[in-house]
Amino acid sequence: MISLLTLPAVSLPLRTSSNSRLVSSALNENAARLRCFGLRNAERSRVSMSVSVGSQQTVEDSLFLDYKPHCAFLFPGQGAQAMGMGKDAQDVPAAAELYRKANDILGFDLLDVCINGPKEKLDSTIISQPAIYVTSLAAVEVLRSRNGGQQIINAVNVTCGLSLGEYTALAFSGAFSFEDGLKLVKLRGEAMQDAADAVKGAMVSVIGLDSNKVQQLCDAANVEVDEADKVQIANYLCPGNYAVSGGVKGVEVVEAKAKSFKARMTVRLAVAGAFHTSFMEPAVSRLEAALATTDIKTPRIPVISNVDAQPHADPDTIKKILACQVTSPVQWETTIKSLLTRGLKKGYELGPGKVIAGIVKRMDKGADIENVGA
């Protein structure tokens, strides 16, 4: 039998201090969003929560806060999909098996859509999210099959993923099984698509401004639109690249005003709706119900949350954060800054595309990051 997603055992020592701190201005602005999982601000994420690990010890939710990254796995989010992805993975039995397992869960031939499309189908939220999740974990198996690949996987001591990629990171960390993660991702895509269909929204990337300027641009746009069309920063991607989400009219005003704020350009994103805003609120209850019945364990290694750019050890907190994530701004810039300032030596982007590698290189030209596709 082929062992799928075999992960190295990692000891979970008791955490004895809480002196690690990395709370950006972006996180402070996001304090209201953090209420959805019971934390009044990022500092509250250090709250002590008992977690059973085996039968020998208990740990706190704050277990991983002082993590020291040496080797990181980084997983892409929606938008990274591309026709032909998954084809190379078929040469690796363990990777090919993931697609076969996915077919049973999804009820259609995922690999066929990945390779043959049509592109419009692959790009849909319902298809692209499971496709990226499966292909990214297939990339782990591709790496494992290479000479020295298992040693690299054993060396990984932190992981994270962009939006959807957080589910991939949690699966890699052993927080839940490949199958349970795919079921969650399937439901997440369906719930987000239904929320987008119910209330029309849009997203646009604003290029060439810092986050304060983009916030001012959003404030200026919001003066001119009704409450239903308000906009906000939905993705703190990297310096000079922030995604704004909201009502279609609000996004159009942002596009019209961007030049006057000295933005270099705007790029309308090909997504179904206003992701990572309150427009996605209808998806939350469906995710909460699914997460409540999902077996989630303490991750073997730190998994950095998109909501507060912190790692969490408590399974119940992880469930709450995942439900909250679809309505909360993505704190990716803070996540990567934290990895770099804490001394990250080597990173791997696993899955389709090279967006994450580009972001890391933009923030640190000397960063050592390698792409592993499938």
Neighbour order of strands in the sheet with 201-207: 231-238, 241-247, 201-207, 265-268
Residue 48 catalytic? no
Residue with tokens 């300032």: 341
Amino acid symbol at 183: K
Rg value, the chain, Cα: 20
| Catalytic residue (choose from 45, 136, 211, 276) | 276
Residue 107 CB coordination number (10 Å):
9
- Residues 6+ away with beta carbon under 8 Å from 170: 176, 181, 296, 299, 303, 318
Residue 163 catalytic? yes
| Catalytic residue (choose from 45, 163, 173, 338) | 163
Exposed e or buried b for every residue in 217-239, given b needs 16+ CB within 10 A? Answer: bbeebbeebeeebbbbbbbbbbe
Q: To 10 degrees, what angle do helices 248-257 and 211-223 make?
A: 120
Q: Give the rounded distance of the alpha carbon of 330 from its chain centre.
A: 8
DSSP 58: E
Q: How far apart are alpha carbons 310 and 42 in whole angstroms?
A: 8
CA atoms within 13 A on the CB side of 333: 21
Strands 57-59 and 51-53, sheet pairing: antiparallel
Q: What separation in angstroms does the CA of 112 have from each of 120, 133, 220, 294?
A: 14, 15, 45, 28
Q: Which residues are catalytic?
A: 163, 276
